[in-house]
Amino acid sequence: MSDIQLKNIDKAFGKVKVLHDVNMNVNDGEFVVFVGPSGCGKSTLLRVIAGLEEVTAGEIFIDDELVNTVQPRERGIAMVFQSYALYPHMTVYKNMSFGLKLKKHNKQEIDDRVRKAAETLQLTDYLARRPAELSGGQRQRVAIGRAIVRKPKVFLFDEPLSNLDAALRVQTRIEIAKLHKKLDATIIYVTHDQVEAMTLADKIVVLNDGRVEQVGAPLDLYNNPANIFVAGFIGSPRMNFLKGTVASVKGDTVEIRLLDDKTVSFAHSTPANENDSATIGIRPEHLLLAGAADGLLKAEVDVVERLGDVSYLYCALSDGTPIIASAPGTSLAKTGDTIHLTARTEKIHVFGPDGNAWK
Amino acid sequence: MQKRRQAISSTAVHAILFSYMVIALWPIFLTIINSFKSRKAIFRDPLGLPGADSFSLKGFEKVLLRSDFEIYFMNSITVTVATLVLVLLLGAMAAWALSEYRFKGNTWLGIYLAIGIMIPIRLGSVSLLQLIVDLNLANTLTALVLVYIAQSLPLAIFILSEFMQQIPKDLKEAARCDGVSEYTIFFKVILPLTRPAIATVGVFTLVPVWNDLWFPLILAPSKATQTITLGVQQFIGQYVTDWNAVLASLTLAIVPILIIYILLSRHLIRGITAGAVK
DSSP A190-219: EES-HHHHHHH-SEEEEEETTEEEEEE-HH
Determine whether the interchain pair A102/B181 forms a contact, defined as Cβ–Cβ distance below 8 Å. Answer: yes
Q: Is there a contact between A102 and B179 if contact means CB atoms under 8 Å apart?
A: yes
Residue B247 lies in a domain: yes
Give the list of residues 6+ apart from residue B57 with CB closer than 8 angstroms, or none: B36
Alpha helices in chain B (DSSP H): 2-35, 39-44, 58-65, 69-100, 106-118, 125-134, 141-165, 169-177, 182-184, 191-193, 195-211, 214-219, 228-231, 243-274
Which of the 8 DSSP states describes residue B269?
Answer: H
Q: Residue B168: its chain A contacts at CB < 8 A? A: 83, 85
Nearest by CB to B174, from A79, A102, A139: name it: A79
Same domain, B143 and B7: no
Q: Are residues B196 and B77 in the same domain?
A: yes
Q: Are residues B19 and B85 in the same domain?
A: no
What's the distance, Cα to Cα, between the start and end of chain B in Å? Answer: 38
pLDDT tens for each residue of B36-52: 888 888 888 888 888 88
Residue B94 belongs to a domain: yes
List, in sequence order, the alpha helices (H) in A213-257. Answer: 218-223, 228-233
Q: Are strands A211-216 and A203-208 parallel, antiparallel or unpaired?
A: antiparallel
CATH number, domain of B195, equals 1.10.3720.10
Note whether B180 contacts A83, CB cutoff 8 Å: no
Cβ–Cβ gap B179/A73 under 8 Å: yes
For residue A54, give the 3-state DSSP assignment: coil
pTM: predicted TM-score of the whole model, two decimal places = 0.79
Residue B268 has a pLDDT of: 67
Which residue in B176, B181, B193 is closest to A52 by CB distance?
Answer: B176
Is A89 close to B274, i.e. CB distance below 8 A? yes
In a domain, B263, yes or no: yes
B62 within domain boundaries: no
Average pLDDT over residues A320-324: 91
Nearest-Cα residue of chain A relative to residue B169: A85
Cβ–Cβ gap A89/B176 under 8 Å:
no
Q: Examine the domain organization and report whether B113 and B214 are in the same domain.
A: yes
Rg of the Cα atoms in chain A:
24
Residues A150-165 have pLDDT tens digits of 888 899 999 998 888 8
Mean pLDDT, residues B89-105 taken together: 91
Q: Which of B190, B188, B109 is nearest to B154 (CA)?
A: B109
Domain around B42: 2-56
Q: What is the DSSP letter of A53?
A: S
Do B77 and B14 share a domain, yes or no? Answer: no
Same domain, B134 and B202: yes
Q: Choose the mutation target among A44, A81, A103, A163 for the interface with B, i.e. most B CBs under 10 Å.
A: A81
Instruction: For residues B14 and B141, state if they share a domain.
Output: no
Q: Are B15 and B113 in the same domain?
A: no
- Which site among A54, A98, A113, A153 would you substitute to test the B interface, given the most B Cβ atoms closer than 10 Å to its Cβ? A98
Three-state DSSP class for residue A297? strand
Number of independent structural domains in chain B? 2
Residue of B177, B184, B191 to mutate, interface with A, max A Cβ within 10 Å: B177
> Nearest CA to CA, how far is B155 from chain A (Å)?
26
The tens digit of pLDDT for each residue in A71-129 reads 888 888 999 998 888 998 899 999 999 988 887 778 899 999 999 999 888 899 999 99
Q: Are residues B51 and B75 in the same domain?
A: no
Please answer whether residues A80 and A159 qualify as being in contact, where contact means their C-beta atoms are separated by less than 8 angstroms: no
Provide CB contacts within 8 A for A93, sequence distance 6+. Answer: A114, A118, A127, A128
Q: What average pLDDT does the structure give for chain A? A: 89
Q: What DSSP state is assigned to residue A187? A: E
- pLDDT tens, residue by residue, B4-17: 888 888 899 999 99
**Of B235, A184, A304, the residue nearest B226 (C-alpha):** B235
- Is B26 within the bounds of a domain? yes
Residues of B within 8 A of A102 (CB-CB) are: 179-181, 184
pLDDT at B277: 44
